[in-house]
Amino acid sequence: MTHEHEDYAHLAHEFVQHRLSPEQRLRVQELVMTSPEFLEVLTFELVLKRKMETLKQPLPDSMKRRVYVNIVFRSHEQLYKKVLQTVLKATLPAITRPMLGLLERSVLANEQL
């Protein structure tokens, strides 16, 4: 595919999707009048858009609710994990030091017997 055909395909796609600036829309109008290749590409894009629109179906309300609940649950779960990790990183060393001291003393005491 040549650069000109790639440009035609991109321009036709953007025109069908209503994403062109006014200058680009004028260029499309000129190309429609002067270029049979561009007209063919534009026709193909329009047919493709119509076919895709028939495939689109709205989500049922139950599925929308399920997706929303999953998103909220996952975000809460991640938040809880982060909070718990922060709390454990801050408190665990302070809690374990006395316990390790006791364990070390008991091991040393048992070895001396």
Beta-carbon contacts of 11 under 8 Å, excluding residues fewer than 6 positions away, are 20, 24, 27, 28, 31, 38
What is this structure's pTM? 0.50
Same domain for 72 and 43? Answer: no
Q: How many domains does the chain have?
A: 2
Location of structure tokens 């049922």: 60
Q: Which domain holds residue 19?
A: 1-57
Maximum C-alpha span of the chain: 103
Final residue belonging to a domain, choices 57, 73, 94: 57
The model's pLDDT over 11-36, given as tens digits with 9 standing for 90+, comes to: 999 999 999 999 999 999 999 999 99
Check residue 55 and give its pLDDT.
Answer: 83
Note whether 73 and 88 are same-domain residues. yes
Find how far residue 100's CA is from the centre of its chain: 46
